[in-house]
Structure formats: structure tokens, C-alpha cells
Chain A
């Protein structure tokens, strides 16, 4: 029998997506296997199918242009989605922040 590690990860969604889901707080996700951005987003979209297409495109899973991923004061948006997230995200000390890019003037 193969055992798969499950890690609890905290995710903070941007206000419009919280409103869409009618939630007020951050989300805790149980992520199986390696805790990469892809794994977290797959788990997030499985929990909340409404988010499919809002953070990354349908099908290609390409990050939408005006969505950014931050954690531990770093911008992770341009990293490979298969890279491991920082250790403090993986151990639950820090959340992964999904952010709408600045707009306006």
C-alpha cells in the first residue's frame, strides 16, 4: 500500500473571489503529495468548482494575466507551477496569497 502525504495549506483569496464563494476568511486545503502551486490550485478548484477559469484559464491552466501569487513576501507568479511552495507555506505558518493585480491610476 502506497501512502500519500497530505499537507494542510492556507490560501487567501482576493475579495471578489471570496464574495463569489460567499466566504469571509482564508481557506484551508488538504493537499496531497508535493505542495506545488499546481497542486494547491487543483485542490482549490476541486473544492470550489466555481473558481475554475477565474485564476487560471480553462484547459491550458495558464495563469490569468492580472492574477498574481505571493507568499513570504515573494512573487511566485513567474515560477514553474510545479516548483515546491516555500517551506513556511508547506508547514502552514504562512498562507499562499492569490492577488488581483493593481489597476487604475
Chain B
């Protein structure tokens, strides 16, 4: 049968939602770390009771917490994210050089192959690695140092490395995404990196198809076809069939192709989900109707999924890390909103129910499928 554990990060604490495989009766545990911004929580796929959590606030900075008992208890681990060597500069909003300054951890990605290894994506954009369960961190500085780093410029949300996607078939291959620099790939475990933004077009930058400068919001892949990448860009839903060497647009019949999250069905590599948002200015769904859109064809042909979702007067947003899928036989899809709702569809998006209605604004949602 199995059960699920949903890890929810919010602006004011973390919550752990659990259910059996039916996914209709939920237990809500939390808030953990009340009052703190919990940007992301994620468990190790090799040790499901080990969960990492990014805890921060504007006063007291960054803490990383680790649980080794499925979130019942937590212990702080190392929080020193020190850039390698002399950090140098990126580009500031006014076009002048600006020194790299650590602000927070946006995303934690436990390794698929090494039980004590975890990666952290941070603002100002950089990638860190711990090989000792978070007890110490070192920067994988080949990313910032590969040549374009000095041209990266923050978007309105800050210059954050927010997405880390590991190739489940090749531990040396990973992808990251940075706002507003673009997508990058490593094939040597993170030591060296290449920008992979060919085919992206962004009207917000002067050279619309520049090598870097694109505001990539999220990447996703499926283990059955790891050369195919999906991307929700600031505007445009994109797809690559060659590991990011080139991209083409698959927005198709979406009502708007602005949005933040994108995810893939657990068992169907061609089935993907996005949440269209009116525009970069509005940051709420078109016509006040909250809809997930599903494509069963890897993009271009999309259907609206709204059974159980608000049909009117809904003006929330769904942030980039706030969608996840479980791996039960009938794939569950989850997302959280800035209005504090966490929704689940236990049948791949056909029907939805709110697990919780009134949490603080949801920053991230991850789900674990447990025995």
C-alpha cells in the first residue's frame, strides 16, 4: 500500500503532512521552527528519515537543520556558506560590478547515490556541496567561475540558484537553474559547468537569445528519459530532447505561459504539469480560477485541471519549488499556494482536494513515498 509524507516550507515555519495511500485523511504536524522562513525541506532518497531543512530570516540569517528520524527531532548542522577564494563580482541592477554576498539557501538536494551528500543552491547564486550530512560545506566554484558569472544579474526576486536536478541514470550529470542567469549543466559531478540556454528567448534582456541572462524558473526531468528536460521559464514552457543542448517552446494552447513550477508524472515521462499565472506583473491565475494544466504529450497540447480547485476569486501564486509528485501506483500531484493552501490530487490531476487551507504562504512542497 504505502504512505506519503509531504514536507511543506512556508514563510513562517515548516509543516509535515502525512497520509496513507488513500491520500484523503491527513495528519498535520507543525509548525516546526515557527516564525522562520523555511525555503525548502527535502529528504534523502537513500535514507527517507533523513530530512534537510533550510531555515532563515532577515534578522538572524541562515540555519540548516537535519532530522534523522523523519522530522520528529531536528539538529542544526553547519551554516557557513563561504564562497571559494576571492568571490569576485557579478553584475548589479545598475550594471556595475557587485561582490558576491551570501543571503540564503533556496534549495537543498540530497544525492541520489551518496547517503551523506547533499547539495545546496544559494543566493547570491552558487552551488555548495556537503559530503558529511551537512556538517561542512564547500562551494563547487566551477559554476560561478566558468566564464559568464561576472555577467549574471539578479532579477526582481534576487540572484538565486533555486533548482538542482540530478540525472538518476548518471551521478556525474546535474542541471541547475539560476534567476536571472539561466540553466547550466555539469557532466563531472559539479566541478565544471556549461551554460545550456540555446533556444531560449527572453524579451526582458537586450539580446533576446543571449548565452546567459534568462530567467529560468524551474527544470524537471523523468528518469525514464533523462535526456529530455522540461523548463518553466519566466515566460514560455520549454523542452529539450538532448540534455539541454537546445530548447524549443511547448507552451502550445496554454492560456498564459508565465508560471513558476513544472513537474513530471511519476510513471509517464510525457505527462507534465504547470500552473499558468496571468503575468509577471499580476502573479495570480487568469480570471481568478486556479487551474493546473496537464500535457500528456510532453507539451504543446494542454488540458485544464480544475475539479476541486477554486473556480472564482482566487488570487494566489504557486512558487517554483511548491509542486511535487509521489510515486504511488496512481501518481499523486501536490502543490502549495501563497494563500496557504496545499492541494493534492491522488489521481494524476483529475481531482483535487485541499489538505490544509490556512498555512502561511507556501514556499516549497516535497513529497516522500514511504513503505
Interface residues of A (CB under 8 A from B): 14, 16-17, 19-20, 50, 52-55, 57-59, 64, 66-67, 100-101, 103
Q: A16-B36, A50-B76 are in contact. Are A58 and B82 (CB under 8 A)?
A: yes
- Determine the residue in chain B with the shortest Cβ distance to A21: B76
A1 to B58, CA, bound (A): 46
Is the beta-carbon distance between B60 and A67 smaller than 8 angstroms?
A: yes
Chain B residues closer than 8 Å to A52, beta-carbon distance: 79-80
Q: A66-B58, A103-B58 are in contact. Are A59 and B82 (CB under 8 A)?
A: yes
Min CB–CB distance B198 → chain A (angstroms): 38
Is the beta-carbon distance between A14 and B61 smaller than 8 angstroms?
A: no
B240 sits at the interface (CB 8 A): no
Is the beta-carbon distance between B35 and A54 smaller than 8 angstroms?
A: no
B62 sits at the interface (CB 8 A): yes
Is the beta-carbon distance between A53 and B59 smaller than 8 angstroms?
A: no
Is the beta-carbon distance between A58 and B80 smaller than 8 angstroms?
A: yes
Is the beta-carbon distance between A100 and B82 smaller than 8 angstroms?
A: no
Chain A residues closer than 8 Å to B81, beta-carbon distance: 58
A17 to B33, CA, bound (A): 11
Give 12 A-B contacts (CB < 8 Å), ordered by A residue: A16-B57, A17-B60, A19-B35, A20-B63, A53-B62, A57-B61, A58-B79, A58-B80, A59-B80, A59-B82, A64-B59, A66-B58
Is the beta-carbon distance between B60 and A55 smaller than 8 angstroms?
A: yes
Interface residues of B (CB under 8 A from A): 33-36, 57-63, 76, 79-82
Known: A53-B79, A54-B60, A54-B63. 20 other contacts (CB 8 A): A14-B59, A14-B60, A16-B35, A16-B60, A17-B60, A19-B33, A19-B35, A20-B60, A50-B76, A50-B79, A53-B61, A53-B80, A55-B60, A58-B79, A58-B80, A58-B81, A64-B60, A64-B61, A66-B59, A67-B60
Chain A residues closer than 8 Å to B36, beta-carbon distance: 16
Min CB–CB distance B138 → chain A (angstroms): 14
Chain B residues closer than 8 Å to A16, beta-carbon distance: 35-36, 57, 59-60
Partner of B59, one of A19, A58, A59, A101: A101
- Determine the residue in chain B with the shortest Cβ distance to A55: B60
- Determine the residue in chain B with the shortest Cβ distance to A66: B59
Min CB–CB distance A98 → chain B (angstroms): 10
Of A58, A66, A67, A103, which is in contact with the most chain B CB atoms at under 10 Å from its CB?
Answer: A58
Chain A residues closer than 8 Å to B35, beta-carbon distance: 16, 19
Partner of B61, one of A54, A59, A103: A54
Chain B residues closer than 8 Å to A59, beta-carbon distance: 80, 82
Q: A58-B80, A58-B82, A59-B82 are in contact. Are A50 and B58 (CB under 8 A)?
A: no
Min CB–CB distance B81 → chain A (angstroms): 8
Is the beta-carbon distance between A100 and B59 smaller than 8 angstroms?
A: yes
Min CB–CB distance A74 → chain B (angstroms): 21
Chain B residues closer than 8 Å to A55, beta-carbon distance: 60
Min CB–CB distance B317 → chain A (angstroms): 22
Chain B residues closer than 8 Å to A57, beta-carbon distance: 61
- Determine the residue in chain B with the shortest Cβ distance to A68: B59
Is the beta-carbon distance between A20 and B76 smaller than 8 angstroms?
A: yes
Chain A residues closer than 8 Å to B59, beta-carbon distance: 14, 16, 64, 66-67, 100-101, 103
Min CB–CB distance B315 → chain A (angstroms): 22
Is the beta-carbon distance between B60 and A100 smaller than 8 angstroms?
A: yes
Min CB–CB distance A42 → chain B (angstroms): 16
Min CB–CB distance A97 → chain B (angstroms): 14
Chain A residues closer than 8 Å to B34, beta-carbon distance: 19
Chain B residues closer than 8 Å to A20, beta-carbon distance: 60, 63, 76
A53 to B59, CA, bound (A): 11
- Determine the residue in chain B with the shortest Cβ distance to A57: B61
